[in-house]
Structure 1
């Protein structure tokens, strides 16, 4: 990448500070200036990379992975992603060759944490119309990950701007030992703490983040978890209310709810493959204002085309202020387009299993979509099957038009075909 200036941040894991120090030394040895953010979220690194005009950015984090994992998330100049087939593969080759020589030009580390966070917070707060906000109580669960200090900076700025929001904080202080367990709200067993706290605090809604807070998850005022595909639809609707002709990017797993909302608002929905590199590329190619994945990744054109776990809850606060409780907004969409949620099957031969499903359904299918896994449209219901990249698992998502029972029947049919 021929980088001369690189932004560096790290999450709260016990190993992250030492690894970040090693990353910094390696960059300095290669003649780079390091702009250090210290403890920060992945999205803060992405934002700062563009804000400072750096040649790249690295966040030392393992996100939601087990406690003894760690790694790095990297972006190029302009916060653009590295392609797996080229950029990351090339980095792997360079690392394995290990033919590095120290540069004659050495730079020191520059601490930019305060400047970077102030600029980041200002940008985040610009995504919401403060005057539209009504008095709301919001329960936030940082899971003792990295989110706490960043959230506090945003909350402080919102208060200065006159936002009438009250926050109840749960597991807020960063703690790399994760006494409550790794913050992964996508797993059902990790949701009760947030759900109970939402009910106990009589909050209007709840928010929980993963470890590096690039994903956020929503809970209704009842404590009920809101599935990610309906959040994508809500956020698409929020943008289209301000720009009805906007383009929205979505992944191919559960699509009908989003496509229906976008069409009714006069916008344009574009489907692309699952994964941040594909979503970000499609957003840049299509000048899309927003891109969403049902896995709780949300991307924003006006946030350097990157994902954020802080912008979504602000947009949700504005939606609730304008349109009423999330529970009511979501109930209507669930009734119109019920879905199964992601169901995982561990199989010996995933390719053969998916081939069996295709053979069984293709004769009566209206259309087959192979953009990402196998998408099968059966008319009043459809499903998507994808193989995991890292384990012998097939992931099934199914949806229907206004008929929850049809979803259940469809899941059972696909299951029988998968298991042979």
Structure 2
């Protein structure tokens, strides 16, 4: 039995021809069907050149176990999340490698109601079945009768209609937005939204950059987290005098925002903006406070905004499976991670890269403020380092070294995800608060550091340098 190395903690991802091919996709499809025993599954895929073949191979595996397959074509991951719930499917599959290199592809799997399937909620069991090939009998492949049906359908109109429920169209004032799809899957949704905006007289004008879907990625793999991938969006914002820039990764489950000067806005501060948007929108008249989920890497800005807007702040371990599970448990209206993943209760508790910018566009209109104005005070109040990755030989030992060094000085230690330590540093100039979070990667020998302070950028920078020196010792 050969181990399938394409199975990761939360999804399937592998190098083409080495870790993933059509035969492996078939095996995973058949294993998914054996494990979940679904009747109907919806499938879609990104724009990568190998996606269509892998999607059909996966579908064949499903169909050979008697599952009916509904193919919604070229999609972003969130379109599968929405379709699974909206069409009352037993499960959903997106074939995508998101922002991974050209020679990679993968899959994201959900079950009914778009509940995530990760390592401890079924992915490891699917992996074991795909490796052991229980449908083989003395080399012959068992056939299930009747074989499942395959049908192409569209769910785009219903998806776009749902997206528009997050805003009040009459609130929107004229806006010019730069949208950079990175030649990924987002462009077709932008086009559909543009048609809907015209229909409802929503005065938003799009400036489209790298808009056409192209699996050759002529402008590079769409990953706006990389600094070198941001300039095209920033430049277009400045050239066109736009109110905001939006860029997506390949399967557009994450969006990244730029203010009207072309400045990239760290995802941490977007979490605060969206928390505020939801809490201000709550007109239910219910005395119960709306709950907001957030990750432990950077927290103070988010916590303060939630408190000021009468919400309830709930910290969760980082990662989509943990956030989604906690959101369902708490019935939270919104959950946000600084990595640009944003989750919504009315979107089957799943993440979306389209809903966030719609909400921010409405905030721009209602508050009548530039985006830079909205975030500059928050950045000044809680300056942060952003996530800094260090590749180390022994991450566990490095984290222990940092904990031993700082634990006695800390006024609070949190172990929700890695270690989170907060401090109240007193010197001749007064009292200064700062904190950091340090956590290991699930998939590589890397530790991730985030540092923030209360209103003191010099202290934040000093402590960041101090921590990095100790970490990399």
Task: Identify the TM-score tier after normalising by the shorter chain.
Answer: over 0.9
**Offset at 1:204?**
0.2
Do structure 1's residue 148 and structure 2's residue 187 form an aligned pair? yes
Q: Structure 2: how far apart are the matches of 1:125 and 1:292?
A: 20
Q: Distance in 2 between matches of 1:111 and 1:18?
A: 15
Aligned residue for 2:19?
A: none
**Which residue number in structure 2 is paired with residue 48 of structure 1?**
83
**CA offsets, 1:126-168, max 9 Å, x none?**
1111111000000000000001011111221122111011110
Is 1:167 paired with 2:209?
no
Q: Deviations over 1:215-248 (max 9, x none)?
A: 0000001000000000000000000101283110
Q: Which residue of 2 aligns with 1:384?
A: 437
Residue aligning to 2:218: 179
Report the equivalent of 2:467.
Answer: 414
Aligned position for 1:213? 252
Task: Please give the secondary structure, in 1, of the residue aligned with 2:268.
Answer: helix
> 1:317 is matched with which residue?
361
Structure-2 residue corresponding to 1:284:
328
Please state if 1:356 is matched with 2:395: no
Superposed displacement of residue 389, structure 1? 1.6
Unaligned runs of 5+ in 2: 1-35, 136-141, 284-288, 425-432
Query: What does residue 333 of structure 1 align with?
Result: 378
CA distance, structure 2, for counterparts of residue 8 and residue 378 of structure 1? 48
Runs of 4+ in 1 over 4 A off after TM superposition: none
Residue aligning to 2:152: 111
Structure 1: gaps spanning 5 or more residues: none
Query: Within the alignment, does 1:129 sit opposite 2:168 as a pair?
Result: yes
- Return the alpha-carbon distance in structure 1 between the equivalents of residues 43 and 143 of structure 2: 20
TM-superposed CA distance for 1:412, in Å, is: 1.6
Could you tell me which of 263, 269, 274 is aligned with 1:224? 263
Which structure has the larger Rg? 2
RMSD: 0.9
Tell me, in whole angstroms, the C-alpha distance in 2 between the residues paired with 1:136 and 1:296: 23
Q: Distance in 2 between matches of 1:259 and 1:220?
A: 23
Does the 8 Å contact 1:125/1:158 carry over to 2? no
Aligned pairs for 1:215-294 within 5 A: 215-243=254-282, 245-294=289-338
Question: In 1, are the aligned partners of 2:65 and 2:148 still within 8 Å (CA)?
Answer: no
Question: What is the CA distance between 1:392 and its match in structure 2?
Answer: 1.5
Task: Work out whether 1:68 is the aligned partner of 2:113.
Answer: no
Please tell me whether the aligned partners of residues 297 and 436 of structure 2 are also in contact (alpha carbons under 8 angstroms).
Answer: yes
Q: Distance in 2 between matches of 1:49 and 1:110?
A: 15
Equivalent-residue separation in structure 2 for 1:309 and 1:220 (angstroms): 17
Deviations 1:49-90 (A, max 9, x none): 011111100000001111110010010100011132241100
Q: TM-score, normalised by structure 1?
A: 0.98
Q: Does 1:367 align with 2:412?
A: yes
For residue 397 of structure 1, what is the aligned residue in structure 2? Answer: 450
Query: Which of residues 34, 38, 48 is equivalent to 1:3?
Result: 38
Query: C-alpha displacement at 1:214, in angstroms?
Result: 0.4
The CA distance in 2 between the partners of 1:15 and 1:110, in whole Å, is: 20
TM-score, normalised via structure 2 length: 0.87
